[in-house]
Chains A and B, each alone.
Chain A
Amino acid sequence: MTTRIADRFTLLKKENRAGLIIFITAGDPEPKTSLEILKGLPAAGADLIEIGMPFTDPMADGPAIQAASLRALKAGMTLKKTLDLVRGFREGDKATPLVLMGYFNPIYIYGVERFLDDAIKAGVDGLIMVDLPPEEDAELCLPAIRKGLAFIRLATPTTDDARLPKVLSNTSGFVYYVSITGITGTASANNAHIESAVTRLKRATPLPVAVGFGINTPEQAATVARVADAAVVGTAVVKIIADNAKMPADAVAKTHRFIADLAAGVRGARVNA
């Protein structure tokens, strides 16, 4: 069992601040630049990293992340190469937690047991699976937990109190609250909703609560950071990569600069509140 996720949230608690979780798609815009972007994330201010595993049919993602998946696949990305990317990152960073996010089919085809072994060896700390609700825990969640990989569940505005215990059972690492009823990169939730949702989750679980979907600016990240244990930013980062896909050096530099702004927002949130 890796302890990087728990260690990181313990550290954040000690520093009395929320964490910044940055999402990028593995191999976007192509594997080499993607590794450069990934390697620089911790220095730019990412506390945890979420790597999207490219899939042709990402049914919970908006246009920006769909396009990122397709760019990566076009550049030859596979699940095996995603694990290579993680291994490349781990050579220089043993502390930053890294979780893989995606859809089940590529893992199912890779083979669940083999995937879990290879992911742990590569330095993955947890999994976020969009299309595996608790009803399908036998597929990947339980085998992952047995092997010592965190399985981070998504809770949503439609997860009511009756269902919440089921969603929280077999959840480890942290809980990811999807703050809108919708796909990535579309709408943003209002602050009051986020605050009450986090409070509700906190009452039901001792795990840290991260909030994502619809966080696009340092200001929005700061607002979330006042009430949650971490803020997740994905689409806004992926858009910068997309805008600079033809100029790898710019894609790396501009992405890191934007993350530094987000980090400043998150780190100052409780001080400035």
Chain B
Amino acid sequence: MSTVNSFRTGPDEGGHFGIYGGRFVAETLMPLILDLERVYTECKADPGFQKELAGFHTHYVGRPSPLYFAERITQDLGGAKVYFKRDELNHTGAHKINNCLGQALVARRMGKTHIIAETGAGQHGVATATVCARFGMSCTVFMGAEDIERQKPNVERMRLLGAEVRPVTSGSSTLKDAMNEALRYWVAKAETHFYIIGTVAGPHPYPAMVRDFQSVIGIETKQQMQEAEGRLPDTLVACIGGGSNAMGLFHPFLDDPSVRIVGVEAGGHGVSTGKHAASLTGGRPGVLHGNRTYLLQDDDGQIIEAHSISAGLDYPGIGPEHAWLHDMKRVEYVSATDEEALEAFQYCSRLEGIIPALEPSHALAYVRKIAPKLPKDHILVMNMCGRGDKDLAAVLGHLARRGRPV
């Protein structure tokens, strides 16, 4: 392992985290991305921009989200003290709004009034449709046809908010293909449209920009934990698809060496079966969707379709900064299966009265594995990054098929 003075200084000028990241896009998009980088750099340094964003956090999103001591789960597991960072209580029910709000303000500053987004679980689509309604922008959301089936309530929500939802039927009809279509559409509308990417992936400056907008999660957690326990947490756990909720929680803690940080990928049917979405555990570096990162791919460099019970994690790649943190061994990456996530989904509902989304259910599945083995004074924070209402129909269907209806 090579050493660095800080894990928080990336990316470099070209958008690289080590060998990952970069700007692997068609020339048509390059001038736009450079323009975005320039405007975002301005926004970042502008107190007026930050103040406006903070105002929306307080009055529109409902931040800070609580840091909640999950007492019954802690008792039941009998080990570490388990806290949830309650980003599922945000307006629209997930962490995605943190990023959409920030990008919408950047888009407005660039004079763009048309917004494009891709979505998997629909949480990013709903959050994008929401901010578009709030700022009077038009909104086109690309969503895989299979995901439209899996996440109907979110599709209806987006339409109610005035967004156009475009079904994507190419490839596996999931998040990867929605991103391909969104990029294709963007190439055609490059001069008038702003693409709000929903995760810490894509060409530079997206991975850094989305991380910055999501870092509010970790910044609040640090402060709230200081108030609750007077110290840093010992372990952070978050689920990872593209990795935006995880990066938001992790980033402010990367230079605190006492904090163990764990990202939980979607193990699908099990990483050894080949039917999973665990890019770091089961993939290798490649180039897709504007960046170099770990990808699920075959020996010819063709992308393999991911599989996860959770539409939000069903993506064959991961944000480039996670790829770098993996190689640097600063963050541990593990996986949880569909089955483990389903169990955690019910477990949390019954013990804490919180119905989690299937995405953080993966993180909770891992918490259930490690918490019992940790001492009682060990403090663990898990990011409860989304609520499970959107997953009810899918979960009930899975349980019925497994012969154990609720």
Interface of A toward B, CB cutoff 8 Å: 54-63, 66, 73, 78-80, 103-110, 130-133, 135-136, 153-160, 163, 167, 178, 180-183, 186-187
Closest to A66 in B: B170
Indicate whether B199 reaches chain A with its CB closer than 8 angstroms.
Answer: no
Interface check B241, CB cutoff 8 A? no
**Docked pose: A269 CA to B24 CA in angstroms:** 37
CA distance A108 to B291 in the complex (A): 13
Q: Which residues of A lie under 8 Å from residue B29 when comparing CB positions?
A: 158
Q: Give Cα A142 to B290, complex, Å.
A: 20
Docked CA distance A64–B307 (Å)? 26
How far is B290's CA from A85's CA once the two chains are assembled, in angstroms? 29
Count of chain B residues with a beta carbon within 8 Å of a chain A beta carbon: 36
Chain B interface residues (CB < 8 Å from chain A): 14, 22-32, 170-171, 176, 180, 183-184, 187-191, 286-290, 292, 295, 297, 299-303
Q: How far is the CA of A158 from the CA of B36 in the complex (A)?
A: 14
B110 → A minimal CB distance (Å): 14
Whether A109 and B188, one on each chain, are in contact in the complex, defined by CB atoms closer than 8 angstroms, is no
Residue of B nearest to A131 (CB): B24
22 contacts between A and B (CB under 8 A): A55-B302, A56-B171, A57-B180, A59-B184, A59-B289, A60-B187, A61-B184, A63-B170, A105-B297, A109-B297, A109-B301, A133-B23, A135-B14, A135-B23, A136-B22, A156-B26, A157-B28, A158-B29, A159-B31, A178-B27, A178-B28, A182-B187
Q: How far is the CA of A265 from the CA of B190 in the complex (A)?
A: 32
Known: A106-B302, A131-B25, A183-B184. 11 other contacts (CB 8 A): A57-B289, A58-B180, A59-B180, A78-B300, A110-B300, A131-B26, A132-B24, A135-B23, A158-B27, A158-B29, A183-B188
Residues of A within 8 A of B25 (CB): 131, 133
B300 touches A57 (CB 8 A): no
Q: In the complex, what's the smallest C-beta–C-beta distance from B251 to chain A, in angstroms?
A: 25
Q: Which of A66, A105, A181 is in CB contact (< 8 Å) with B191?
A: A181
Query: What are the residues of chain B within 8 A of A132 when measuring CB–CB?
Result: 24
Whether A105 contacts B288 by the Cβ 8 Å rule is yes
Expressed in whole angstroms, the minimum distance between the Cβ of A137 and any Cβ of chain B is 11
Is A158 in contact with B23, judged by CB distance below 8 angstroms? no
**A108 to B14 alpha-carbon distance, docked (Å):** 19
* Residues in chain A near residue B31, CB distance under 8 A: 158-160, 163
Contact present for B287 and A108 (CB under 8 Å): yes
B192 CB → nearest A CB, Å:
10
**Alpha-carbon separation in the docked complex, A136 to B30 (Å):** 11
Most chain B beta carbons < 10 A, residue from A56, A130, A182: A56
Contact of A155 among B22, B27, B183, B287 (CB under 8 A): B27
> Smallest distance from the beta carbon of A80 to chain B beta carbons, Å?
8
Is there an interface contact between A133 and B30, defined as CB atoms closer than 8 Å? Answer: yes
Shortest CB distance A149–B (Å): 19
Q: How far is the CA of A57 from the CA of B300 in the complex (A)?
A: 13
Bound: A135/B15 CA distance, A:
10
Checking B23, B176, B180 against A136 with a beta-carbon cut-off of 8 angstroms, the contacting residue is: B23
A159/B301 contact (C-beta < 8 A), A60-B187, A181-B190 known? no
**Measured between alpha carbons, how far is A55 from B298 in the docked complex, in Å?**
11
Among B287, B288, B299: residue with most chain A CB under 10 A: B287
Within the complex, the shortest CB–CB distance from A128 to chain B, in Å, comes to 11
Cα A79 to Cα B191 with chains together (Å): 34
Q: How far is the CB of B100 from chain A (nearest CB, A)?
A: 22
B34 to chain A, nearest CB (A): 8
Q: How far is the CA of A104 from the CA of B22 in the complex (A)?
A: 13
A171: shortest Cβ distance to chain B, in Å? 11
A260 vs chain B, min Cβ distance (A): 32
The residue in B27, B170, B176 that gathers the most chain A C-beta atoms within 10 A of its C-beta is B27
Beta-carbon contact of A62 and B303 below 8 Å: no
| Given contact pairs A181-B188, A183-B187, A56 touches B286 in the complex (Cβ within 8 A) | no
Contact B287 A131 (CB under 8 A): yes
Q: How far is the CA of A103 from the CA of B286 in the complex (A)?
A: 11
Considering only CB atoms, which chain A residue lies closest to B285 in the complex? A108
Assess the B30–A109 pair: CB atoms within 8 A. Answer: no
Q: Of the candidates A61, A63, A108, A183, which one forms a contact with B286 in the assembled complex, judged by CB atoms under 8 Å apart?
A: A108
- Complexed CA–CA distance, A54 and B24 (Å): 18
Judging by beta carbons under 8 Å apart, are A59 and B26 in contact?
A: yes
- Chain A, residue nearest B34 (CB): A163
A254 to chain B minimum Cβ distance, whole angstroms, is 26
Chain A nearest CB from B177 CB (Å) reads 8
> How many angstroms from the CA of A62 to the CA of B29 in the assembled complex?
16
Determine the chain B residues whose CB is within 8 A of the CB of A106 once the complex forms.
300-302
User: In the complex the two chains form, is B286's CB within 8 Å of A109's CB?
Assistant: yes
Look across to chain B and name the residue whose beta carbon is closest to the beta carbon of A79.
B300
A181 neighbours in B (Cβ, 8 Å): 28, 187-191
Chain A residues, Cβ within 8 Å of B297: 105, 109
Q: Which residue of the partner chain B has the closest CB to A154?
A: B27
The residue of chain B having its C-beta at the shortest distance from the C-beta of A80 within the complex is B300
Measured between beta carbons, the chain A residues less than 8 angstroms from B300 are 78-80, 106, 109-110
Q: How far is the CA of A105 from the CA of B24 in the complex (A)?
A: 10
B289 contacts across to A, CB distance below 8 A? 57, 59
Can you name the residue of chain B whose Cβ is closest to the Cβ of A132?
Answer: B24
**Given the interface contacts A158-B32, A182-B188, does A56 sit within 8 Å of B24 by beta carbon?**
no
Closest 9 CB pairs of A and B: A109-B301, A106-B301, A182-B188, A156-B28, A78-B300, A105-B301, A131-B24, A56-B303, A60-B26
Q: Which residues of B contact A157 (CB under 8 A)?
A: 28
Chain B residues with Cβ under 8 A from A80's Cβ? 300
Q: Output the residue of A73, A105, A155, A159 with the most chain B CB within 10 A.
A: A105
